[in-house]
Amino acid sequence: DGGITQSPKYLFRKEGQNVTLSCEQNLNHDAMYWYRQDPGQGLRLIYYSQIVNDFQKGDIAEGYSVSREKKESFPLTVTSAQKNPTAFYLCASSGNREGNTEAFFGQGTRLTVV
Amino acid sequence: AQSVSQHNHHVILSEAASLELGCNYSYGGTVNLFWYVQYPGQHLQLLLKYFSGDPLVKGIKGFEAEFIKSKFSFNLRKPSVQWSDTAEYFCAVIPSGGSYIPTFGRGTSLIVHP
Protein backbone atom coordinates (compact mmCIF):
# COMPACT_ATOMS: atom_id res chain seq x y z
CA ASP A 1 0.00 0.00 0.00
CA GLY A 2 1.23 3.49 -0.81
CA GLY A 3 1.76 5.87 2.04
CA ILE A 4 4.05 7.65 4.43
CA THR A 5 5.84 5.86 7.25
CA GLN A 6 7.19 7.72 10.22
CA SER A 7 9.32 6.08 12.88
CA PRO A 8 9.51 5.76 15.74
CA LYS A 9 5.99 6.45 16.98
CA TYR A 10 7.27 7.51 20.41
CA LEU A 11 10.72 8.87 21.19
CA PHE A 12 12.28 9.95 24.43
CA ARG A 13 15.36 12.11 24.50
CA LYS A 14 17.58 13.43 27.20
CA GLU A 15 18.33 17.11 27.22
CA GLY A 16 21.40 17.91 25.16
CA GLN A 17 21.00 14.99 22.77
CA ASN A 18 20.27 15.12 19.07
CA VAL A 19 17.63 12.75 17.73
CA THR A 20 16.59 11.89 14.19
CA LEU A 21 13.01 11.21 13.13
CA SER A 22 12.51 9.06 10.08
CA CYS A 23 10.06 9.71 7.25
CA GLU A 24 9.71 7.51 4.19
CA GLN A 25 7.15 7.72 1.37
CA ASN A 26 6.38 5.43 -1.54
CA LEU A 27 3.92 7.75 -3.25
CA ASN A 28 6.50 9.01 -5.74
CA HIS A 29 5.89 12.55 -4.49
CA ASP A 30 8.41 15.27 -5.22
CA ALA A 31 7.61 17.42 -2.19
CA MET A 32 7.99 16.50 1.46
CA TYR A 33 7.32 18.51 4.59
CA TRP A 34 7.88 18.44 8.32
CA TYR A 35 5.35 20.03 10.63
CA ARG A 36 5.26 20.42 14.36
CA GLN A 37 1.90 20.12 16.10
CA ASP A 38 1.37 21.68 19.52
CA PRO A 39 -2.00 21.98 21.30
CA GLY A 40 -3.85 25.08 20.17
CA GLN A 41 -1.19 26.05 17.63
CA GLY A 42 -2.11 23.86 14.71
CA LEU A 43 0.59 22.65 12.34
CA ARG A 44 3.66 24.80 11.93
CA LEU A 45 6.08 24.21 9.08
CA ILE A 46 9.63 23.32 10.09
CA TYR A 47 11.30 22.44 6.77
CA TYR A 48 10.20 21.47 3.31
CA SER A 49 11.78 19.96 0.25
CA GLN A 50 10.39 20.23 -3.25
CA ILE A 51 13.05 18.15 -4.96
CA VAL A 52 15.86 15.80 -4.10
CA ASN A 53 19.00 17.46 -2.74
CA ASP A 54 17.17 20.69 -2.02
CA PHE A 55 15.30 21.88 1.06
CA GLN A 56 14.14 25.16 2.55
CA LYS A 57 13.47 26.48 6.04
CA GLY A 58 9.89 26.84 7.13
CA ASP A 59 8.47 29.10 9.80
CA ILE A 60 10.15 27.46 12.80
CA ALA A 61 13.40 25.92 11.50
CA GLU A 62 15.66 26.97 14.36
CA GLY A 63 17.08 23.95 16.20
CA TYR A 64 16.19 21.53 13.42
CA SER A 65 18.01 20.12 10.40
CA VAL A 66 16.99 17.92 7.47
CA SER A 67 18.42 16.14 4.46
CA ARG A 68 16.90 14.94 1.19
CA GLU A 69 19.36 12.55 -0.40
CA LYS A 70 16.64 10.29 -1.81
CA LYS A 71 13.21 11.10 -3.16
CA GLU A 72 11.61 8.67 -0.74
CA SER A 73 13.27 9.87 2.45
CA PHE A 74 13.24 13.14 4.42
CA PRO A 75 14.68 12.65 7.93
CA LEU A 76 14.41 15.38 10.53
CA THR A 77 17.06 15.90 13.21
CA VAL A 78 16.03 17.68 16.38
CA THR A 79 19.21 19.19 17.75
CA SER A 80 20.11 20.21 21.26
CA ALA A 81 19.69 23.81 20.10
CA GLN A 82 15.91 23.39 19.93
CA LYS A 83 14.69 25.02 23.12
CA ASN A 84 11.36 23.28 23.42
CA PRO A 85 11.49 20.04 21.44
CA THR A 86 8.70 18.13 23.18
CA ALA A 87 5.95 17.97 20.56
CA PHE A 88 4.18 15.85 17.98
CA TYR A 89 5.99 15.82 14.64
CA LEU A 90 4.21 15.15 11.37
CA CYS A 91 5.73 14.37 8.02
CA ALA A 92 3.79 14.91 4.81
CA SER A 93 4.29 14.64 1.09
CA SER A 94 2.52 15.94 -2.00
CA GLY A 95 2.74 15.88 -5.74
CA ASN A 96 3.66 19.55 -5.86
CA ARG A 97 1.89 20.09 -9.17
CA GLU A 98 -1.35 21.82 -10.12
CA GLY A 99 -4.22 19.47 -9.46
CA ASN A 100 -2.02 17.21 -7.38
CA THR A 101 -1.36 19.31 -4.31
CA GLU A 102 -3.14 17.23 -1.69
CA ALA A 103 -0.82 16.50 1.23
CA PHE A 104 -0.65 13.01 2.67
CA PHE A 105 0.46 12.54 6.25
CA GLY A 106 2.30 9.96 8.27
CA GLN A 107 1.18 8.72 11.67
CA GLY A 108 3.48 11.13 13.48
CA THR A 109 6.24 10.86 16.06
CA ARG A 110 5.69 12.04 19.59
CA LEU A 111 8.97 13.32 20.99
CA THR A 112 9.40 13.82 24.71
CA VAL A 113 12.46 15.35 26.29
CA VAL A 114 13.16 13.88 29.71
CA ALA B 1 2.72 34.93 2.96
CA GLN B 2 -0.70 33.41 3.22
CA SER B 3 -2.38 32.71 6.53
CA VAL B 4 -5.38 30.66 7.62
CA SER B 5 -7.76 31.53 10.44
CA GLN B 6 -10.04 29.09 12.16
CA HIS B 7 -12.21 31.07 14.50
CA ASN B 8 -13.70 28.24 16.53
CA HIS B 9 -10.99 26.62 18.60
CA HIS B 10 -13.25 24.41 20.69
CA VAL B 11 -16.76 23.30 19.78
CA ILE B 12 -18.98 21.10 21.88
CA LEU B 13 -22.19 19.70 20.41
CA SER B 14 -24.77 17.07 21.13
CA GLU B 15 -25.43 14.32 18.63
CA ALA B 16 -27.73 15.34 15.77
CA ALA B 17 -26.82 19.00 16.09
CA SER B 18 -25.67 20.86 13.01
CA LEU B 19 -22.05 21.86 12.61
CA GLU B 20 -20.34 24.75 10.91
CA LEU B 21 -16.65 25.43 11.34
CA GLY B 22 -15.25 28.65 9.99
CA CYS B 23 -12.12 29.00 7.89
CA ASN B 24 -10.82 32.21 6.36
CA TYR B 25 -7.59 32.70 4.48
CA SER B 26 -5.53 35.65 3.39
CA TYR B 27 -4.22 35.34 -0.13
CA GLY B 28 -5.22 37.33 -3.15
CA GLY B 29 -4.69 34.75 -5.84
CA THR B 30 -6.11 31.39 -6.79
CA VAL B 31 -6.00 28.78 -4.05
CA ASN B 32 -6.54 25.11 -3.44
CA LEU B 33 -8.49 24.52 -0.22
CA PHE B 34 -8.64 21.52 2.07
CA TRP B 35 -10.21 20.28 5.26
CA TYR B 36 -8.40 17.57 7.19
CA VAL B 37 -9.58 15.60 10.21
CA GLN B 38 -7.50 14.03 12.95
CA TYR B 39 -9.35 11.46 15.02
CA PRO B 40 -7.90 10.72 18.47
CA GLY B 41 -4.65 8.81 18.09
CA GLN B 42 -4.77 8.80 14.30
CA HIS B 43 -3.06 10.63 11.50
CA LEU B 44 -4.50 13.51 9.51
CA GLN B 45 -6.94 12.40 6.85
CA LEU B 46 -8.42 14.40 4.01
CA LEU B 47 -12.12 15.25 4.45
CA LEU B 48 -12.59 17.21 1.26
CA LYS B 49 -10.82 19.49 -1.16
CA TYR B 50 -11.57 22.29 -3.57
CA PHE B 51 -9.52 23.07 -6.65
CA SER B 52 -12.00 24.71 -9.02
CA GLY B 53 -15.55 24.45 -10.31
CA ASP B 54 -18.61 24.06 -8.11
CA PRO B 55 -17.88 25.98 -4.91
CA LEU B 56 -19.95 23.53 -2.86
CA VAL B 57 -17.76 20.52 -2.23
CA LYS B 58 -18.92 17.26 -0.74
CA GLY B 59 -16.54 15.08 1.21
CA ILE B 60 -16.53 11.89 3.18
CA LYS B 61 -18.82 11.06 6.13
CA GLY B 62 -21.47 13.61 5.15
CA PHE B 63 -19.26 16.67 5.38
CA GLU B 64 -19.41 19.51 2.89
CA ALA B 65 -17.74 22.87 2.50
CA GLU B 66 -18.53 25.99 0.56
CA PHE B 67 -15.93 28.20 -1.05
CA ILE B 68 -16.98 31.85 -1.05
CA LYS B 69 -14.32 33.72 -2.96
CA SER B 70 -15.54 37.19 -2.03
CA LYS B 71 -15.26 36.32 1.65
CA PHE B 72 -12.03 34.32 1.37
CA SER B 73 -13.84 31.59 3.26
CA PHE B 74 -14.13 27.81 3.11
CA ASN B 75 -16.47 26.82 5.93
CA LEU B 76 -17.06 23.20 6.82
CA ARG B 77 -20.59 21.96 7.50
CA LYS B 78 -22.41 18.84 8.53
CA PRO B 79 -26.19 18.77 9.04
CA SER B 80 -26.19 16.22 11.85
CA VAL B 81 -23.08 15.26 13.79
CA GLN B 82 -22.39 11.93 15.40
CA TRP B 83 -20.33 10.97 18.43
CA SER B 84 -17.76 9.50 16.03
CA ASP B 85 -17.13 12.97 14.57
CA THR B 86 -15.25 13.89 17.74
CA ALA B 87 -11.89 14.95 16.37
CA GLU B 88 -9.66 17.88 15.52
CA TYR B 89 -10.35 19.62 12.22
CA PHE B 90 -7.81 21.58 10.22
CA CYS B 91 -8.33 23.91 7.30
CA ALA B 92 -5.44 24.23 4.82
CA VAL B 93 -4.66 26.51 1.92
CA ILE B 94 -2.24 26.06 -0.96
CA PRO B 95 -1.65 28.96 -3.35
CA SER B 96 -2.08 27.82 -6.90
CA GLY B 97 0.84 28.18 -9.28
CA GLY B 98 3.34 28.94 -6.56
CA SER B 99 5.36 26.83 -4.19
CA TYR B 100 2.37 24.60 -3.33
CA ILE B 101 3.27 24.58 0.35
CA PRO B 102 0.25 23.84 2.57
CA THR B 103 -0.51 26.39 5.26
CA PHE B 104 -2.73 25.17 8.07
CA GLY B 105 -5.05 26.85 10.50
CA ARG B 106 -4.74 26.32 14.23
CA GLY B 107 -7.38 23.65 14.23
CA THR B 108 -10.79 23.22 15.85
CA SER B 109 -11.36 20.62 18.50
CA LEU B 110 -14.85 19.17 18.18
CA ILE B 111 -16.42 17.14 20.96
CA VAL B 112 -19.76 15.50 20.29
CA HIS B 113 -21.70 14.24 23.28
CA PRO B 114 -23.86 11.15 22.74
pLDDT at residue A46 greater than cutoff 70:
yes
Count A/B contacts: CB-CB distance under 8 Å.
54
- Section A37-51 average pLDDT: 92
What is the DSSP secondary structure assignment for residue A111, as one 8-state letter?
E
Give the pLDDT band of residue A77 (cuts 50, 70, 90): very high
Res A41: pLDDT = 86
Contact B40, B111 (CB under 8 A): no
CB contact (8 A) between residue B106 and residue A42? yes
B9 touches chain A (CB under 8 A): yes
Alpha carbons B56 and B26: distance in angstroms, whole number: 20
B28 compared with A19, residue with greater pLDDT: A19
Listing DSSP states for A27-73 in one string gives S--SEEEEEEEETTTEEEEEEEEEETTEEEE-TT-TTEEE--SBTTB
Res B111: pLDDT = 97
Contact B113, B14 (CB under 8 A): yes
pLDDT in tens, B8-31: 899 999 999 999 999 999 988 889
A47 compared with B28, residue with greater pLDDT: A47
Of A42, A45, A97, which has the smallest distance from its Cβ to B101's Cβ?
A45
Share of chain A above pLDDT 70, in %: 98
B27 compared with A25, residue with greater pLDDT: A25
- Section A39-58 average pLDDT: 93
Res A11: pLDDT = 94
Mean pLDDT lowest for which of A89-93, A98-102, B59-63, B80-84? A98-102
pLDDT in tens, B70-108: 999 999 999 999 999 999 999 999 988 777 889 999 999
Alpha carbons B56 and B65: distance in angstroms, whole number: 6
Per CB-CB distance under 8 Å, the chain A contacts of B46 are: 102
- Beta-bridge mates of residue A111: A11, A87
* CA B114 from centroid of its chain's CA atoms: 23
Report the amino acid identity of residue B26.
Answer: S
CB contact (8 A) between residue A42 and residue B104? yes
How far A85 CA sits from the closest chain B CA (Å)?
Answer: 19
Give the pLDDT band of residue A1 (cuts 50, 70, 90): low
How far A5 CA sits from the closest chain B CA (Å)?
Answer: 11
- Section A15-35 average pLDDT: 95
Per CB-CB distance under 8 Å, the chain A contacts of B101 are: 31, 33, 45, 48, 58
Per CB-CB distance under 8 Å, the chain B contacts of A40 are: 9, 106-107
SS (H, E, C) chain B: CCEEECCCCEEEEECCCCEEECCEEECCCCEEEEEEEECCCCCCEEEEEECCCCCEEECHHHCEEEEEHHHCEEEEEECCCCHHHCEEEEEEEEECCCCCCCEECCCEEEEEEC
